[in-house]
Amino acid sequence: MPPRTRAVPTRRAEVAAGPVPAPVRPTRAELAQAYGRTIPDLIAPGLDVLFCGINPGLYSAAIGRHFGRPGNRFWPALHRGGFTPRLLGPTDQAELLGYGLGITDLVERATARAEELTPDELAEGGRRLLAKVRRHRPAWVAVVGVTAYRVAFDRRRAALGRQPEGLGGAGLWVLPNPSGLNAHYTPDRLADTFAELRAVVHAGRDERGRSGGAVHSGS
């Protein structure tokens, strides 16, 4: 079997630009019907990074794709941060597995806003994520949204970036919420946070290659 293809740019400025994928737009009726729907995980054993969103929005649930709303900046940040060689979109999500990347959610059910989720749902989502990590053994888990992470794992003082405790044998990183509603992060600043994670992931992959085996952290 040929080796898995990976994105290799080392600096955000070096990543080649690509066309913006055309959005898929559901109707108002389809959005209303999307409440409570789930989106299948995009996951495989031994990923470099398993990205974990909070829960699907109605737009994403209606089209059956992760981070599906056009205003969501996950896909541009992923590209500009060096994880993908071209700009992907929700309809291209299956390509991520070829780059060693996957996507899941803390809470499976779709809502209009993340604020509709209860603390108990987020805590249960944290336990479910831990089980997935132990089963699929990614090198890193990146939770997208620090507020949800704090509630899900009872880490009230957690900050963005690398988390010292790890998760289920994987390294653990917290990224900002890429929603367009997150005014604290410009597209450039958001891309920089993704690039920081990618640099650590790339360094860890080199270390695993030198040692001839997997390097995991945390408990």
Which domains does the chain possess? 42-211 (3.40.470.10)
Lowest mean pLDDT among 25-29, 32-36, 80-84: 25-29
Q: 98-121, pLDDT tens digit by residue? A: 999 999 999 999 999 999 999 999
Give me the residue label for tokens 């994928």: 21
For β-strands 170-175 and 161-167, DSSP reports them as: antiparallel
Which of 55, 79, 136, 216 is an active site residue? Answer: 55
* pLDDT at residue 205 in the model: 74
Active site residue 177: no
* pLDDT at residue 25 in the model: 87
* pLDDT at residue 71 in the model: 83
Average pLDDT over the chain reads 87
pLDDT category at 179 given cuts 50, 70, 90 is confident
Per the CB < 8 A criterion, the answer to whether 161 and 48 are in contact is: no
Which of 66, 79, 136, 216 is an active site residue? Answer: 66
Within 10 A of 77 (CB to CB), how many other CB atoms are there?
26
* Per-residue exposure over 37-66, b if at least 16 CB sit within 10 Å of its own CB, e if not: eebebbbbeebbbbbbbbbbbbbbbbbbbb
Active site residue 79: no
pLDDT of residue 137 exceeding 90, the answer is: yes
In single-letter form, the type of residue at position 34 comes to A
pTM: 0.85
